[in-house]
Amino acid sequence: MRRAGIVRMLALVMLIAVAAWPSPAIAQKLVIVVRHAERADGGAPPASMSGAPADPPLSAAGDARALRLASMLADAGVTAIFATEFKRTQDTAKPLASRLGVPVETMKAADTAALIAKLKAEHAKDVVLVVGHSDTVPAVIKAYGGLDVKIADQEYDNIFIVVPATGATTRIRF
User: In this structure, is residue 80 part of a structural domain?
Assistant: yes
User: In this structure, is residue 48 part of a structural domain?
Assistant: no
What total number of domains does the chain contain?
1
| pLDDT less than 50: residues of the chain | 21-27, 48-50
Beta-strand ranges (E) seen in 1-139 are 30-35, 78-84, 104-107, 127-132
Q: Per residue in 149-168, pLDDT tens?
A: 999 999 999 999 999 999 99
Predicted TM-score (pTM) of the model is: 0.82
User: In this structure, is residue 145 part of a structural domain?
Assistant: yes
- Picking from 152, 172, 144, the residue whose alpha carbon sits closest to that of residue 160 is 172
User: In this structure, is residue 124 part of a structural domain?
Assistant: yes
User: In this structure, is residue 153 part of a structural domain?
Assistant: yes
Report pLDDT for 23: 44
The beta-carbon contacts of 93-98 under 8 Å, at least 24 apart in sequence, are 93/66, 93/129, 93/131, 94/66, 95/66, 95/67, 95/69, 95/70, 96/66, 96/69, 96/70, 96/129, 98/70
Report pLDDT for 25: 43
User: In this structure, is residue 46 part of a structural domain?
Assistant: no
Report pLDDT for 34: 98
d(CA 128, CA 120): 11
CA separation, residue 111 to residues 36, 108, 137, 158 (Å): 17, 5, 12, 22
CATH of the domain at 116: 3.40.50.1240
Write out the residue range of the structural domain in which residue 96 sits. Answer: 2-41+53-173
Report pLDDT for 10: 64
Report pLDDT for 15: 55
Report pLDDT for 124: 82
User: In this structure, is residue 47 part of a structural domain?
Assistant: no
User: In this structure, is residue 11 part of a structural domain?
Assistant: yes
